[in-house]
Amino acid sequence: MALPVYAINGLARTRILLCPGSAIKQSSFYEYTKKLQEDPVLLLEDITPDPRPDRTQFSPQNFPNGRMILDLKLSVEPASDLESLQIHRRVLAVVGIIDNDAQFDDAYDQLKQLYPQALTHRLVVFNTTKTDVPSFVSTIPPPEKATAASYYTAKCDIASAILAELSLLSHAYAGYDYVSSPALGRSSNDGWDTPAGSSARSSSNSVAAAASALSTSERRKQRSKGRTLKNVGDLYMLAGNFPQALKHYDDAISALKMAHDHLYHGDAVASVAATYVLMTHFSIPFTVSSVVRSTVGSSTDLSPNSPKTPSNADIVKFLCDTTIAVLNIYQRANRSQQESVSYECICDFILRMCYTLACIRVSGGLTPACLKHLIEGSDIDASGSALVQRKSGVSLEILLGLLNESDILQNRIVQAYSRSHVLSGMASIYQLLKYSRKRSFVVKTLIDVLVPQLMAARITDAAENGIHPVADATLSIATLSDDTLFPTSDVGLISLLDELARTYGGSKDFPPNFGWTEVRKDVLRSCLRLCESLPDLRGIIRYSVSILDTCSKILTRDELANLLLVIDKTSSSASSAGLDHDADILWSRSLVKKMYVVESERKDFIVETNTPAPADNSNNIFLYRPAKLTKKVNVDDAITGFAFCESEVLVKVILENPYVYSIDLASISIASEGALCVWPTFEMILNSSSSTEILFSGIAKETGQLKILGCNIKCGDSSPTLHKYTRPVISSSKLVTKIKHVGYNSFRHLKTPSAALSEDIVLSFNVFDEEPVLELNEKGLETSCIMILEGQTLNLSFGLRNESSIEAQVLDLAFSDATTRELERSLKEETLSEADVYELEYYLVNRRALRYIKPASTVTIPGNSESTVEVEIFGKRGLTSGRIQVEYRRAQGSSEHITVTRNLRIPLSITVNLSIELVSYELVGCSDMKETCELWDHVSSEAIEYEDFALLVFDLKDYWVHGMKVSIEYAENGEDAEFRSTAMIQSGATKRLLIPIRKIFLGCKGWVPIPNLVSKRDKRQADDTKNELFWYREHILDRVRGRWKDVETGAEGNIDLRGFRLSEDMLRTVKKDAVEMRLGVDSRNVCGELSHVKVSIWNRYEKKVHGIFRLLPSVFEEGGMWSTEKNDRKVIVNGQEEVAFTLAGGEKKEMDTEVVYLGLGRYRWSGVCDVKSDGWDEVQTFGSNNVDCIV
């Protein structure tokens, strides 16, 4: 596993260089080094100590539980003056890799000559079984015998040699009278400041005062002592003896603070922080010394010299405070030119601490997984939520502030290598924090730094060889193999540049209109310049094509020509060297500008699903379908066309060439999948800056789904490439006020970039088996213009002819007419009452203008034969046109789930003339028998009780040119008319017809809300009176019907009586009382003799009622007045005049009261009931009929 470059354990890594010890294959060398780089942490007890007495200072036996971390590298950085300050920067050992039995001594001597600065040199021999080898040689058996222990043992041998040499280095440090500062070579007065501010902490004042109290010799002595202790502590850190390293750092900090040596003081404090993290990971107990506590001034709860090991949360706070404290110390060091800290050192410290704190933040704290990643290089899970990251104790603002400070300082670094190293570290930290846009900006800066240096290196190398740089590059490429030209590292570089281009939309994952085109072009040009400076042919072709692909609209003609020239030359160079390349993609991915289906001449088929037919619902008025064969569904968005076997499939493609040069297309054809279809192939030349349309006519050979993916386009000798039709996605969702993500993050949260901003259009055809073809027989339908009277029903027949050889086994008719559209439009008005809505829906549902008359047997039309279909037309006001749609197919569907149905549309022109119209109406009671006796004789001979009836009065007018015979019927039960009134109305005349109807009592049924027949609109609450008016009117209209007949032509029809509206007065006339009373007297009454008054009480209500009945007699006096006073002197009642009663729902009660008249005269009897029920809010009073008698 690869160790993080800027992890905090970098101070404890022992840097070792792995290089070929003799002639060895490159692939073998990389394989061997990869094996050695695995498991870089060694346990000290596994390392053999050096037996020499002068090499025992760092012996593994001194601290067997320690860990030594090896940093095995394949390249070395340029020598730096910082190696004297930070020993971990120095390569301590050089290991030669050998896989044969070469001369060990020669290889060993050669390593010592090439790398004299290393402390030790060793050889590792692979694939050998020798055991008698020199002491500086470690062996690895062949692969079939080699185990992980074999590689681990070889690394332990290397570590043992390093530990032995560290003892000599430590003795050398101890022998120095004075350790000088590294020559950093920059002015101290450059205005650099730390993110924490320019003011130092208050503790620095006391340190400065103490240092000023020392003499110059004492200060020099303390400085030399502190630097020596710090260097020896670094050696203990590399040796894995962390407790001894921590002890030396504490002593060094005390001496360096007294000597006012800020350079080494700051580095020692940074080393203490790294030691704490290492000891926490390896579970080594430690305590925080008072000197460290006072130096850092941490805000944590760390107690100096406490025997308790600090918690992980305390370590996190300590690391945050240490970062600011060390930067303040470095700032104070910059006040002295001799001790100034280099920008490289400051940036290195900032990035090391930032990477550590960033890992802690994304892990939610200093977790074991975080420690293992920092120390051993294992993978880290950075998918923690924002809440988890906030609980980590690391502030994001501090992290970004430190990274911004590092970005400012890296601009002052002179060496390009060091600057690129810092930029790479910043990019890795931004990637860990998921700041992709900032990371890409840093990577672009890195490219801008590297390109001039690489170009200068090429020019210098070519000048030394005496050839031109371009020729040198071409010659080098021609002599290299494909593996050498495109090694793994170069592929990684291409991946890095691809990610940079992707961030700014310069990738095929994004549509051409994504992002800022100018910025995208600048980024892609930077990638291209880097590839040209290497040189990398793959990258040159790749990014030249990307610029043409995504930025062609803003490129000038010269830029387009130059890019074409670069691609042509690079492609020729790669082809001359026999290398594979991607130069055949020389045009825009949007070459296919548009692609769509061309509809065939016949548009007579629809798509349905083979689902069972639902039950017929007469309320469904939006589709007039008498036979529900299949349920129509919405077709999938990808299905844009339909075809049949052996028929043509038409697709039109529009190609666009946006460049200043023409493109020679060797072939272009349709790319399809699914059902077999044969497509033609064309050859053509696309002129510069032009568009070309191509019509492809394919022949479907199989049934199923045919998908058109795009065009297969071949340019020159290259292989065909699929070009898809892509268009931007226009979101129809509503704008949201809460923005959760901005910038590049908002794009990353989508599923895929291409799915978010663009979509690949796939044209699909459902190819079906051959279907029958029906045509209208002109002889069957004499004319398409029909005249009909309002209310009349007319039967229409027409013939259908099957012109194919396939039988039409399923036949279905659907209708539409002009009245439907108007009624639907009126239904959308929000101001309509519930009764008005019901009325409109009634005309939609129950007064359909067109209806299919189904025959007794199933209608089928065999091939090459004819059949007759009959429909019914109803004369409906507003009917001006209609359409009959005949839908037909074979019985078996084209597939298991989809059925194709052809349709034949027959338009009709209809004229509806007025016939009989209701112009006025009235509803009156039948209280006066004498006035209506002639009416009863006219309408019925049945003996009736007039109190049970009301009288309907209709005024009808004849608007037709002929006289009409009209009749109004009332049928209470069944179809037989109970009453009938007929009349003859001449043309233009008006006639009044009267028809008696029975009074009605609906009870609770009259309060039911008004229903909806078809609409789904929200119902408004109507009061009980409106509901009663509606239901009593419907009850009357269900029993009253009118008919007319043309006396000359014999035509018949219905009279539309729905214009009748019920008022509240009419409602009181036709509505029976809930509790009804009837009085009766004897036909002969004699003064002084016993007579009878009979009372009948009927509860029409559904529930039980309680009441009191009062019998009221009155006497007719002179002057024409009825008197109720002193009736007890004229009438004697045998019993009570007030009687309490209880009646169940629907119960009828009769009472007989005996009376004696005491005088002659005219008497009148009446009754009153006061009734109360559970469903009534108050007591209601009902009166009876008045009965007169003469005594």
Q: What is the pLDDT of residues 104-116, one digit of tens each?
A: 888 888 899 999 8
Say how far apart CA 968 and CA 980 lie, in whole Å.
6
Percent of the chain with pLDDT over 90: 16
Q: What is the mean pLDDT of residues 609-636?
A: 37
Say how far apart CA 561 and CA 550 lie, in whole Å.
16
Tokens 């290492």 belong to residue: 278
Is it the case that residue 384 has pLDDT exceeding 90?
no
Worst-scoring range by mean pLDDT, 171-180, 192-201, 885-894?
192-201
Q: What is the mean pLDDT of residues 874-884?
A: 90
Is it the case that residue 598 has pLDDT exceeding 80?
yes
pLDDT for the residue numbered 247 = 93
Do the Cβ atoms of 86 and 115 come closer than 8 Å?
no
Long-range pairs, 289-298, Cβ under 8 A, ≥24: 289/250, 291/250, 291/253, 291/254, 291/257, 292/250, 292/253, 294/203, 295/203, 295/253, 295/257, 295/265, 295/269, 295/325, 296/269, 296/321, 296/322, 296/325, 297/201, 297/203, 297/321, 297/325, 298/322
3-class secondary-structure state, position 1187: strand
More confident of the two residues 1045 and 647: 1045
3-class secondary-structure state, position 96: strand
pLDDT for the residue numbered 979 = 85
pLDDT for the residue numbered 198 = 39
Domains recognised in the chain with CATH numbers: 8-175 (3.40.50), 203-394 (1.25.40), 467-576 (no CATH), 592-768 (2.60.40.10), 774-913 (2.60.40.10), 916-1070 (no CATH), 1075-1190 (2.60.40.10)
* Helix (H), strand (E) at residue 801: strand 793-802
Q: What is the pLDDT of residues 33-60, one digit of tens each?
A: 999 988 889 999 999 998 888 888 889 9
Say how far apart CA 967 and CA 1055 lie, in whole Å.
9
Is it the case that residue 150 has pLDDT exceeding 50?
yes
* Of 1067, 1043, 1064, 1066, the residue nearest 1053 (C-alpha): 1043
3-class secondary-structure state, position 794: strand
Is it the case that residue 350 has pLDDT exceeding 70?
yes
pTM of the model: 0.55
pLDDT for the residue numbered 19 = 92
pLDDT band of residue 589 (cuts 50, 70, 90) is low
3-class secondary-structure state, position 1140: strand
Say how far apart CA 687 and CA 1080 lie, in whole Å.
110
Average pLDDT of the residues of the chain: 79
Say how far apart CA 117 and CA 87 lie, in whole Å.
13
Is it the case that residue 920 has pLDDT exceeding 90?
yes
pLDDT for the residue numbered 200 = 39
Say how far apart CA 1128 and CA 1114 lie, in whole Å.
10
Distances (CA, A) of 642 to 91, 599, 627, 886, 1022: 73, 9, 25, 19, 51
Q: What is the mean pLDDT of residues 506-518?
A: 63
For residue 281, the 8-state DSSP code is H
Q: Which residues of 1047-1071 are buried (b: 16+ CB within 10 A; e: fewer)?
A: eeeebebbbbbeebebeeebbebbb
Percent of the chain with pLDDT over 70: 78
Q: What is the mean pLDDT of residues 678-692?
A: 88
Per this entry, what is the length of the chain? 1191
pLDDT for the residue numbered 1120 = 63
Do the Cβ atoms of 333 and 340 come closer than 8 Å?
yes
Say how far apart CA 788 and CA 804 lie, in whole Å.
36
Q: Distance between the two ends of the chain, CA-based, in angstroms?
A: 129
Distances (CA, A) of 706 to 635, 648, 744: 15, 13, 38
pLDDT for the residue numbered 512 = 57
Do the Cβ atoms of 699 and 648 come closer than 8 Å?
yes
Do the Cβ atoms of 875 and 912 come closer than 8 Å?
yes
Distances (CA, A) of 465 to 459, 461, 462, 471: 10, 6, 5, 11
Q: What is the mean pLDDT of residues 236-261?
A: 91
* Of 318, 316, 323, the residue nearest 401 (C-alpha): 323
* Of 380, 518, 526, 516, the residue nearest 442 (C-alpha): 526
More confident of the two residues 912 and 1077: 912
Where does 900-978 have alpha helices with state H?
A: 929-939
Worst-scoring range by mean pLDDT, 158-172, 179-193, 831-845, 922-936?
179-193
pLDDT band of residue 77 (cuts 50, 70, 90) is confident
Q: What is the mean pLDDT of residues 1045-1053?
A: 92
Q: What is the pLDDT of residues 1061-1103, one digit of tens each?
A: 998 888 888 888 888 888 888 877 878 788 888 888 888 877 8
Q: What is the pLDDT of residues 780-828, one digit of tens each?
A: 555 668 899 999 998 888 888 888 888 888 888 888 898 888 888 888 8
For residue 127, the 8-state DSSP code is S
Residues 6+ apart with CB under 8 A from 847: 874, 876
Tokens 């095995």 belong to residue: 72
* Helix (H), strand (E) at residue 1110: strand 1105-1117
- The two beta strands, 605-609 and 898-913, are antiparallel
Q: What is the mean pLDDT of residues 936-941?
A: 51
Is it the case that residue 970 has pLDDT exceeding 50?
yes
